[in-house]
Amino acid sequence: MNGNSFGRLFQVTTFGESHGEAMGVTVSGCPAGLELSEDDVQRELDRRKPGQSMITTSRGEPDHVSIKSGLQDGYTTGTPIGMVIENKDARSGKYEPFVTAPRPSHGDFTYSAKFGTRNWGGGGRSSARETVNWVAAGAIAKKLLAEEGVELAAHVNQIGDVEAPEVPFERIRDRADDNEVRCAHPETAEKMRERIDEYQDDGDSIGGSIYFEARGVPRGLGAPRFDSVEARLGQAMLSVPASTAFEFGLGRDAREYAGSERNDEWEFGEDGDPKPVENDHGGLQGGITTGEPIYGEVTLHAPTSIPKPQTTVDWETGEETEERVIGRHDPVLPPRGVPVVEAMLALTLVDFMLLGGRLNPDRADDRPGEYDTDYHPSSPKNEPGE
């Protein structure tokens, strides 16, 4: 099974199944000399972990991270960083009815059709639990970006038909975690919670979307066509479990605009360089960053594991059967999806910054203490551009 790695210079490779012994991730390409601790990673994992509220799964996972390699004296060494998160509360018994009867809209049948077998406990590799690895890796990427003055944030901007108005970036960054829905507009968050409760009480689930934004991204990152920032950011966001749509800038609303309305005219910025007037392109033109904020949205469908009776087929008996998915599942995904979306945004941007020579490839000389820097030579910094 391939498809377990993401990124080029900052490469993330993950392993683990929902009900296996542990989840894990290896991060290759992190520059040496970055101050890093398990607490840095744990803060992000705590935002994603289950059991946070009544609108998340009750699975009791502490999601405690253990960094196994790539650090010395609290700093990265430039070698692969290995992290492990043990599974503590897996209960596979409730999945036994689905060993030969695929759950509706899951990967059960397609995994079996492709591989001839599958790990049926909790969905195995297809489970959204695998995103714990992404968030762990994203915590490192976030820290690298912060040192370069790049800020990013996300929040839930829609649940069902309840949509939040536009919220300033600073409020999203500072207040999104203030409520369990992770919507930075408190009044809308209350309405979202009411809508979630309605579906949950009915044994059903509901979808929604997450708005994301990054500021301080330097201009000139990316390349045309297949290596455009939006192309690879789209890959990152559409890899998020349950994602059905990715948008940037005006997104799908662009279909309603005339060229004269959508085109961003140019003006001189405070630094004397050209800058777009409106940024309707979401910080990206020609596949390359303009230096303006990058923003967009990811749509997540309703969770497919619901207790309502649904019809499936048993390929062993050859009969149709009615089953209920009984287990510990989220009635809505965007609240716990916010740190996942932020992680994939961070991983994508760090990779582009390394490709474009905008990150110091070796920070060993910046480490405090008595080190002989003759033994920690800095690599020559590449010229800007990919």
Q: What is the DSSP letter of 286?
A: T
User: 54-63, 139-148, 243-252, 273-282: which has the minimum mean pLDDT?
Assistant: 54-63
Per-residue confidence (pLDDT) for residue 362, from 0 to 100: 57
Considering the chain, what is the average pLDDT of its residues? Answer: 86
Per residue in 207-239, pLDDT (tens digit) is 999 999 999 999 999 998 899 999 999 999 999
Of 89, 123, 117, 124, nearest to 103 by C-alpha is 123
Q: Is 50 exceeded by the pLDDT of residue 385?
A: no
Per-residue confidence (pLDDT) for residue 209, from 0 to 100: 98
Of 199, 195, 209, nearest to 306 by C-alpha is 199
Between the CA of residue 22 and those of 65, 126, 348, what are the distances in Å?
10, 15, 25
Is the entire prediction scored with pTM above 0.75?
A: yes
Rounded to whole angstroms, the Cα distance separating 179 from 185 reads 10
**Contact status, residue 51 vs residue 336, Cβ threshold 8 Å:** no
Of 305, 355, 309, 299, nearest to 328 by C-alpha is 305
289-314 average pLDDT score: 90
Per residue in 339-378, pLDDT (tens digit) is 999 999 999 999 999 998 888 665 545 554 433 334 333 4
Rounded to whole angstroms, the Cα distance separating 58 from 61 reads 9
Query: If residue 156 lies in a helix (H) or strand (E), which one and from where to where?
Result: strand 151-159
Q: Is 70 exceeded by the pLDDT of residue 245?
A: yes
Tokens 């695998």, residue located: 130
Longest dimension (CA), the chain: 73
Q: Is 60 exceeded by the pLDDT of residue 39?
A: yes
306-320 average pLDDT score: 79
**Mind listing the domains of the chain with CATH numbers?**
5-375 (3.60.150.10)
User: 193-202, 323-332, 363-372: which has the minimum mean pLDDT?
Assistant: 363-372
Label residue 386 by pLDDT band (50, 70, 90). Answer: very low
Of 155, 185, 183, 142, nearest to 41 by C-alpha is 142
